[in-house]
């Protein structure tokens, strides 16, 4: 008999999540829904946005309820289908949550062609993280040849694509990452023009040195101290797509002083900056085909490279996710749930 597992939100974190906030449960095998699919999860995607779903706060998406499975997208094998066009053995992406098996009856669903390339890319470069990078950079940031683009978490799936797309349009790409290994990867493998370790004591000075003509596009996915170092380097009319704030996701309650808001607002005013928050779904209907074309083309001809950080076993997803929030992953974080 198949053992069916899921990981539920056991309690809401105060600050960084701990193992106690998650609970591994055995559950019954779901039924094949009418017009739906029965799925076996192969790979689960771990993404920073999941931290927000653990809080009971107003956001663009509803929080996960206590006792409900953690949400997430995965690559799955179809075990049974009552849906035209889908057959047993097909590989699809679906929002199954953190579980080994799931019933699909509604929501996004995409059939993959395993012969066309890696199926896990559908959770990374050719999926939500990739489209997030594309839409923030190309639609909001609009880098021009010769401009300077800076992105943090540059060895992760979003940051690595931001820099590689910036290079494809002729801009200078500067990455920020944590530690020498990641910085080396960003320059040597991903071919950014420079990579700066945000843990270096003289990080602001090193970032300034890597951006001799200032910063025209800063793709914001971390916030915190990195933003403070970026702010004085932003050029007049710089664009700041705000895609994530991982440095502040784990903070509980109001932050201690000094109040850094006046400094940011003064720079917004005096340098005519644009800050634009976005969720990738805003742009999907209009821009997804152009994204797939550009990124699939870049992967095919070698201009876009990526790295995955795969953890084995659904039971290890909480630890991998907690590591992701601390920047311990090196590449797109995935959990191999089954093979």
Q: Which is nearer to a copy of itself, 42 or 243 (CB)?
A: 243
State which of positions 117-176 bind a copy of itself (CB under 8 A): none
Choose which of 19, 20, 60, 289 interacts with a copy of itself (CB under 8 A).
Answer: 60
Shortest Å distance, C-beta 149 to a copy of itself: 19
Decide: helix, strand or coil at residue 271.
coil
State which of positions 309-338 bind a copy of itself (CB under 8 A): none
Decide: helix, strand or coil at residue 293.
helix
Shortest Å distance, C-beta 142 to a copy of itself: 14
Q: What are phi and psi for residue 202, nearest 5 degrees?
A: -100, 35
Residues in contact with 273: Cβ distance below 8 Å, sequence separation at least 6, in sequence order: 234, 237, 238, 239, 240, 267
Q: Interface with a copy of itself includes 55 (CB under 8 A)?
A: no
The dihedral formed by the CA atoms of 336, 313, 182 and 158, expressed in degrees to the nearest 10: 50
Q: Interface with a copy of itself includes 285 (CB under 8 A)?
A: no
Distance CA 64, CA 76 (A): 22
Contact range with a copy of itself by CB under 8 A, out of 26-34, 95-103, 157-165, 278-286: 278-286
Measured on CA atoms in the order 188, 124, 72, 101, is the torsion positive or negative? negative
Q: Which is nearer to a copy of itself, 27 or 251 (CB)?
A: 251
Contact 181, 198 (CB under 8 A): no
Q: Interface with a copy of itself includes 205 (CB under 8 A)?
A: no
Shortest Å distance, C-beta 152 to a copy of itself: 14
- How many amino acids of this chain bind a copy of itself (CB under 8 A)? 40
Distance CA 142, CA 149 (A): 10
What residues line the site for a copy of itself (CB under 8 A)? 52, 58-60, 223, 227, 236, 242-245, 248, 251, 254-279, 282
């Amino acid at each position: 008999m198949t053992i069916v597992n899921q990981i539920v939100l056991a309690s809401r974190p105060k600050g960084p999540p701990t193992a106690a906030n998650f609970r591994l449960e055995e559950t019954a095998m779901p039924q094949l829904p009418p017009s739906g699919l029965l799925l076996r999860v192969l790979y689960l995607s771990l993404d920073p946005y999941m931290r927000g779903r653990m809080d009971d706060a107003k956001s663009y998406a509803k929080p996960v309820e206590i006792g409900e499975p953690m949400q997430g997208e995965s690559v799955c094998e179809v075990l049974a289908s009552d849906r035209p066009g889908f057959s047993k053995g097909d590989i699809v992406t679906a929002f199954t949550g953190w579980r080994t098996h799931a019933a699909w009856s509604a929501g996004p669903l995409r059939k993959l062609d395993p012969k066309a390339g890696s199926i896990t890319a559908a959770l990374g470069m050719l999926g939500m993280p990739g489209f997030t990078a594309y839409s923030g950079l190309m639609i909001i940031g609009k880098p021009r040849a010769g401009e300077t683009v800076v992105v943090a978490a540059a060895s992760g799936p979003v940051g690595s694509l931001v820099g590689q797309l910036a290079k494809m349009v002729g801009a200078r790409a500067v990455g920020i990452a944590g530690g020498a290994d990641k910085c080396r990867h960003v320059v040597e493998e991903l071919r950014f023009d420079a990579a700066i370790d945000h843990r270096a004591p003289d990080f602001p000075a090193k970032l300034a040195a890597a951006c001799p003509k200032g910063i025209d596009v800063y793709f914001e996915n971390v916030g915190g101290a990195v933003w403070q170092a970026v702010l004085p380097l932003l050029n007049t009319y710089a664009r700041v797509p705000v895609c994530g704030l991982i440095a502040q996701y784990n903070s509980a309650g109001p932050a201690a002083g000094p109040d850094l808001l006046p400094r940011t607002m003064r720079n917004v005013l005096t340098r005519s900056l644009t800050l634009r928050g976005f969720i990738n779904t805003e742009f999907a209907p209009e821009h997804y085909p152009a994204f797939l074309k550009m990124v699939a083309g870049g992967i095919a001809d070698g201009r876009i490279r990526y790295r995955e950080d795969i953890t084995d076993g659904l039971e290890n997803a909480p630890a991998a996710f907690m590591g992701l929030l601390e920047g311990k992953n090196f590449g797109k974080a995935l959990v191999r749930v089954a093979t």
